[in-house]
């Protein structure tokens, strides 16, 4: 960890989410002063930040609000050096059911963050994109010049948000960089994502129910993805660029499920559940990243192999099974 973060102040939107919680932990470890923006709820729930060690949790300034509240975002961004914008509605199945909500939250929320950064003259904004914006690969590996395809309302909302970031860089000189993680997995992830969905079922049931087994994904372990955010914030030459964070290797969902079942060590069948299948034209069939730009511009490359990451994730889910509901399909 570099000395770059000593004494720097960072705002993390979506800090209570999966990647956000890992990013907050890395920032605390690096010596940054961290302000975590959490979506307000009456329970005062800190989201996945609750899994941080107590001394790290206590070091984080936690504020509640909503990215769709412009004044609240402006107040949250006051006095920070870097804004890491991870706050979003990210579930693709949810975007089929509530597209207006997803588009409103992701597009307007991003615009509020950028406007706050412009008003406060924030030194750096790191915006979170997603590999879903590429849609099914037209060529592999997928580099940052690959065409964008809105194959779900979620991916369309992120394409729009990415373009708004681009416009603020070009129109207002907001020093922003967009990082585009491929499928991130690891400890703390909810059953909304495929890897914990497979693991929790394999640990507790005789059958693992999944959607289409043919699509392939490029899986990156959570700490590697979070470290990519730090690298993007540190590198001055990253401003105005979009940078993939991926391993450069893809695996089908069917092969992934078999690999997980083998590592869990129980006799489990894998079956198709039609209710989990995406609309045919919406399914992204292949994602395989080109991460060369990340290596060149921000000095990032993944460190955790898929086998090591799966073992870590299986161990975490096994120790926290009370956080999951294996008999329900999490949208």
What are the pLDDT digits (tens) for 127-173?
999 999 999 999 999 999 999 999 999 999 999 999 999 999 999 99
| Within a domain: 233 | yes
| Within a domain: 315 | no
Looking at residue 41, what is its pLDDT? 84
Burial 50-87 (b: 16+ CB within 10 A, else e): ebbeeebbebbebebbbbeebebbbebbeebbbbbbbb
pLDDT-above-90 percentage for the chain: 95
E strand residue ranges, 250-294 = 251-252, 269-272
Burial classification of residue 329, based on how many CB atoms lie within 10 Å of its CB (0-12 exposed, 13-18 middle, 19 or more buried): middle
| Within a domain: 181 | yes
Looking at residue 331, what is its pLDDT? 79
Cα separation of 278 and 285, whole Å?
11
Q: How many residues does the chain have?
A: 331
| Within a domain: 308 | no
Is 85 or 41 the better-scoring residue by pLDDT?
A: 85
| Within a domain: 175 | yes
Give the domain CATH number at 107.
Answer: 3.40.50.720
Looking at residue 222, what is its pLDDT? 98
How many structural domains is the chain composed of?
Answer: 1
User: Can the peptide bond before residue 141 be classed as cis, meaning omega within 30 degrees of 0?
Assistant: yes
What are the pLDDT digits (tens) for 182-196?
999 999 999 989 999
Is residue 1 predicted with pLDDT exceeding 60? no
| Within a domain: 256 | no
Q: For residue 77, what are the domain limits?
A: 3-189+219-248+288-302
Q: Tell me, what DSSP letter sits at residue 51?
A: G
pTM: 0.96
Q: Residue 122: which of 86, 176, 161, 166 has the closest Cα?
A: 176
What are the pLDDT digits (tens) for 284-302?
999 999 999 999 999 999 9
DSSP string covering 111-153? HHHHHHHHHHT-SEEEEE--GGGG-S-SSSSB-TTSPP---SH
| Within a domain: 292 | yes
Cα separation of 215 and 272, whole Å?
13
Cα separation of 84 and 61, whole Å?
15
Is residue 330 predicted with pLDDT exceeding 90? no
| Within a domain: 121 | yes
């Amino acid at each position: 960890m570099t000395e770059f973060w000593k004494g720097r102040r960072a705002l993390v939107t979506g800090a209570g989410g999966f990647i956000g919680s890992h990013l907050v932990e890395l920032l605390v470890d690096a010596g940054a002063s961290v302000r975590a923006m959490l979506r307000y709820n009456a329970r005062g729930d800190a989201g996945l930040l609750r899994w941080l060690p107590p001394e790290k949790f206590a070091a984080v300034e936690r504020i509640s609000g909503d990215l769709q509240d412009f004044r609240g975002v402006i107040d949250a961004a006051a006095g920070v050096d870097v804004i890491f914008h991870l706050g979003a509605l990210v579930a693709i199945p949810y975007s089929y059911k509530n597209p207006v909500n997803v588009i409103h939250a992701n597009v307007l929320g991003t615009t509020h963050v950028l406007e706050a950064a412009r008003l406060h003259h924030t030194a750096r904004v790191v915006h979170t994109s997603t590999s879903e914006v590429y849609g099914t690969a037209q060529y592999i590996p997928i580099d940052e010049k690959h065409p964008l395809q809105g194959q779900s309302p979620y991916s369309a909302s992120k394409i729009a948000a990415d373009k708004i970031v681009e416009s603020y860089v070009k129109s207002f000189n907001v020093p922003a960089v967009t990082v585009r993680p491929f499928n991130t997995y690891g400890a703390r992830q909810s059953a909304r994502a495929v890897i914990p969905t497979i693991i929790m079922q394999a640990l507790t049931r005789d059958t693992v129910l999944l959607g289409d087994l043919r699509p392939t994904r490029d899986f990156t372990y959570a700490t590697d993805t979070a470290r990519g955010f730090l690298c993007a914030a540190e590198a001055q030459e990253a401003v105005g660029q979009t940078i993939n964070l991926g391993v450069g290797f893809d695996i089908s969902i069917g092969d992934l499920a078999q690999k997980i079942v083998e590592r869990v060590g129980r006799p489990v069948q894998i079956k198709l559940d039609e209710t989990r299948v995406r609309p045919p034209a919406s399914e992204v069939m292949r994602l395989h990243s080109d991460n060369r730009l990340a290596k060149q511009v921000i000095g990032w490359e993944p460190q955790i192999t898929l086998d090591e990451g799966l073992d870590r994730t299986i161990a975490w889910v096994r120790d926290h099974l009370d956080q999951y509901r294996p008999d329900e399909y999490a949208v």
